[in-house]
Amino acid sequence: MVEVLDTAALLFWPPERLVTGICAESQMEELRKLSEPRFLLVQSNPPELRNPDEKSQLAAREAASRTGDLNGLSPVDIEVLALALENRATLHSDDYRLQNIARNEGLEVKPVNTKGIGKVWRWQLRCTGCRAVTDVDSKSENIPDCDICGSPQQLKKAR
Ligand SMILES: [Zn+2]
């Protein structure tokens, strides 16, 4: 199965997962603008980088026109879409326009699914008496009484 990865995957996927995918060369420049450290990391062990030819870029623009999504697409988006089309690949993207166009062309589409990555709960102590709130670093075992009024405190997830 050929997998074309959009730039969100380059940013958020574990590096070892990227190496089996295909990306457009122009995405590496885009990645460099978004995150230099990430660019250097991905460049040291990159996915297969290709330049889609003119014919498949034209096909990508035509496909985008058919769904009315052409206006919202960048040149890099067009290249990602062209690679997906010319390889009949699974497209990994969170961009709803690219998802829409690729599905309309009968390609399989999967979200990059950045949700949950790097999500860390913050915790707070809340006083049951005076309602004072204190940020704490982690979910601690021992919950002290309130410094202000001496009432018991509760550990809560910060909103
Ligand atoms: Zn208190």
Is 72 part of a structural domain of the chain?
yes
C-alpha Rg value of the chain to the nearest Å: 23
What pLDDT score was predicted for residue 1?
82
Condensed to tens digits (0 to 9), the pLDDT of residues 128-137 reads 999 999 888 6
Give the Å distance between the CA of 150 and the centre of ligand 1.
6
Q: What three-state secondary structure class fits 71?
A: helix
Residue 48 phi/psi, 5-degree rounding, is -70, 120
20-55 pLDDT, tens digit per residue, is 999 999 999 999 999 999 999 999 999 999 999 999
Identify the weakest region by mean pLDDT among 11-20, 61-70, 99-108, 112-121. 112-121
121-144: burial string, b at 16+ Cβ within 10 Å, e else: eebebebeeeeeeeeeeeeeeeee
Place of tokens 């089996």: 20
Expressed in angstroms and rounded, the spacing between residue 156 Cα and the centre of ligand 1 is: 15
Task: Report how far ligand 1's centroid is from the alpha carbon of 15 (Å).
Answer: 47
142 CA → ligand 1 middle, Å? 16
The verdict on residue 117 lying in a domain is: no
pLDDT at 130: 96
Confirm whether 65 is domain-assigned. yes
Predicted pLDDT of residue 127: 95
CA of 133 to the centre of ligand 1 (A): 9
Number of domains in the chain: 2
**Same domain, yes or no, for 96 and 46?**
yes
pLDDT of residue 118: 47
Q: Are residues 19 and 64 in the same domain?
A: yes
Q: Specify the length of the chain in residues.
A: 159
User: What's the pLDDT band for 139 if we cut at 50, 70, 90?
Assistant: low
Domain shared by 23 and 93, yes or no: yes
CA of 122 to the centre of ligand 1 (A): 20
- Asked if the structure places residue 22 within a domain, the reply is yes
Would 116 be classed as within a structural domain?
no
**Tally of CA atoms within 13 A in the half-sphere of 148 that contains its CB:** 11
For residue 140, the CA-to-ligand 1 centroid distance in Å is 18
State pLDDT tens for residues 57-104. Answer: 999 999 999 999 999 899 999 999 999 999 999 999 988 899 999 999
Distance 55 CA to ligand 1 centre (A): 69
Tell whether 95 and 51 lie within a shared domain: yes
Stretch (H or E) spanning 22:
strand 22-24
Range of the domain at 130: 123-157
pLDDT for the residue 157: 80
Q: At residue 141, does pLDDT exceed 90?
A: no
Same domain, 129 and 106: no
| Same structural domain, 87 and 10 | yes
pLDDT for 117 equals 44
Are both 33 and 98 inside the same structural domain? yes
Same structural domain, 90 and 24 = yes
Q: Are residues 60 and 129 in the same domain?
A: no
112 CA → ligand 1 middle, Å: 44
- Asked if 118 and 33 touch (Cβ cutoff 8 Å), the reply is no
